C-alpha cells in the first residue's frame, strides 16, 4: 500500500513545530502503524535526515507508550486498539494520514511525536498504591473477594497510562485515568483502609495539572482498553463521601 503521511516535526520543547509530508510506499497491509514509521525512518536515515521520533516499548498494546493522534483521533480509527496494534490495513490505498503528538497542556512536546506524560505519574505517586503495613504477606486465598468485584477491579486495572483520554478530551481532563486507578484499588478489600484518603490526594494532584471533566465521554471512546466512564461516577461518589467524612470529623473535634 502507498500512503501519504503528514507528520508533526518539532525538534525540541521550546522550538516551533510544523507538519512535514513523507511518502510511505510499498507498505504491507499487515504491517503495524509503528512498523510503517520504522520503514519511513529507515529511508530518512539512509538520506542522512533526522528520523521521526516517537515512543514505543512493548508493541503489544500493554505499556501505553506508543500513543499519538492519527487523523485527529487518539490511537487512530480502530476502537479499543493502541497505536502499536493498529495495522496499515485499517487505511485505504492512497490515504493521507495526519500524525500528531498528544495535544494537551499537561503533555508538553519533547520531540516530534514524543510528549512528557509525567503528570500522570504524579497522580499515582499521590496515592495510587496500598501502603498499609500488614506484616508478612497472608495467604492470598484467605481474603475472599467476590468474582464480580475482582472482575470489576480488573476492568479498571487494565488502564495502561497511555494518556489517550487526556489527549482526546476537549478540556484536557484526566478523570478517566484517575478514576480507573482509584477504582482498581478502591474495589478490593486491601484498598479499603486508604480508600477515602486516596481519592482526595489523587484528585488534588489531578486538578493541579489537568482540566475539568464535563462528561463529553470522548475519553471512553478512545481508550484502548475500553474503560467505562462509570468509574468516573464511582470516583465522584467516593470523593463526596470523603468530604462528608472529613467534615464530620472536623465537627467532632
The grid coordinates listed for 23 are: 511518502
Q: Which of 60, 77, 111 is the last residue of a domain?
A: 111
Residue 100 sits in a domain whose CATH number is 3.10.20.30
Residue 58 pLDDT > 70:
yes
Do 153 and 75 have their domain in common? no
Q: What is the DSSP letter of 241?
A: H
| Higher pLDDT pick, 120 / 135 | 120
Q: Which of 84, 111, 138 is the last residue of a domain?
A: 111
Do 101 and 125 have their domain in common? no
Do 124 and 52 have their domain in common? no
Do 150 and 29 have their domain in common? no
Do 128 and 190 have their domain in common? yes
Q: Which domain holds residue 36?
A: 3-111
Do 245 and 121 have their domain in common? yes
What integer pLDDT is reported at residue 250 of this predicted model? 67
Do 97 and 140 have their domain in common? no
Do 137 and 47 have their domain in common? no
Q: What is the DSSP letter of 216?
A: -
Do 135 and 247 have their domain in common? yes
Which CA distances in Å does 26 have to 4, 23, 96, 221, 229?
A: 11, 10, 15, 31, 40
User: pLDDT tens digit string along 145-188?
Assistant: 999 999 999 999 999 999 999 999 999 999 999 999 999 999 99
Segment 44-65 mean pLDDT:
97
Residue 232 sits in a domain whose CATH number is 1.10.1060.10
Do 194 and 230 have their domain in common? yes
Domain count, the chain: 2
Q: Which of 56, 77, 111 is the last residue of a domain?
A: 111
**CA 236 – CA 203 distance, rounded (Å):** 10
Do 51 and 12 have their domain in common? yes
The grid coordinates listed for 133 are: 503495613
Do 230 and 136 have their domain in common? yes
Candidates 116, 100, 111; CA nearest to 19 is: 100
Q: What is the pTM of this model?
A: 0.93
Residue 141 pLDDT > 90:
no
Amino acid at each position: 500500500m502507498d500512503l501519504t503521511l503528514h507528520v508533526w516535526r518539532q525538534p525540541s520543547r521550546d522550538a516551533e513545530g510544523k507538519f512535514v509530508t513523507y511518502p510511505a510506499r510499498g507498505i504491507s497491509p499487515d504491517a503495524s502503524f509503528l512498523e510503517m514509521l520504522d520503514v519511513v525512518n529507515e529511508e530518512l536515515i539512509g538520506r542522512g535526515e533526522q528520523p521521526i521520533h516517537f515512543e514505543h516499548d512493548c508493541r503489544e498494546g500493554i505499556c501505553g507508550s506508543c500513543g499519538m493522534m492519527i487523523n485527529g483521533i487518539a490511537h487512530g480509527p480502530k476502537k479499543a486498539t493502541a497505536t502499536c496494534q493498529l495495522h496499515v490495513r485499517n487505511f485505504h490505498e492512497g490515504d493521507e494520514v495526519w500524525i500528531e503528538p498528544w495535544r494537551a497542556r499537561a503533555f508538553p512536546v519533547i520531540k516530534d511525536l514524543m510528549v512528557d506524560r509525567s503528570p500522570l505519574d504524579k497522580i499515582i505517586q499521590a496515592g495510587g498504591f496500598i501502603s498499609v503495613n500488614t506484616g508478612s504477606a497472608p495467604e492470598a486465598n484467605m481474603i475472599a473477594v467476590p468474582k464480580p468485584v475482582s472482575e470489576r477491579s480488573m476492568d479498571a486495572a487494565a488502564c495502561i497510562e497511555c494518556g489517550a483520554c487526556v489527549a482526546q478530551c476537549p478540556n484536557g481532563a484526566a478523570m478517566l485515568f484517575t478514576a480507573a486507578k482509584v477504582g482498581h484499588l478502591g474495589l478490593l478489600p486491601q484498598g479499603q483502609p486508604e480508600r477515602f484518603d486516596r481519592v482526595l490526594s489523587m484528585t488534588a494532584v489531578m486538578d493541579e495539572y489537568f482540566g475539568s471533566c464535563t462528561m463529553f465521554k470522548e475519553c471512553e471512546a478512545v481508550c484502548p482498553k475500553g474503560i467505562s466512564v462509570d468509574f468516573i461516577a464511582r470516583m465522584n461518589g467516593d470523593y463526596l463521601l470523603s468530604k462528608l467524612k472529613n467534615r464530620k470529623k472536623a465537627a467532632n473535634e
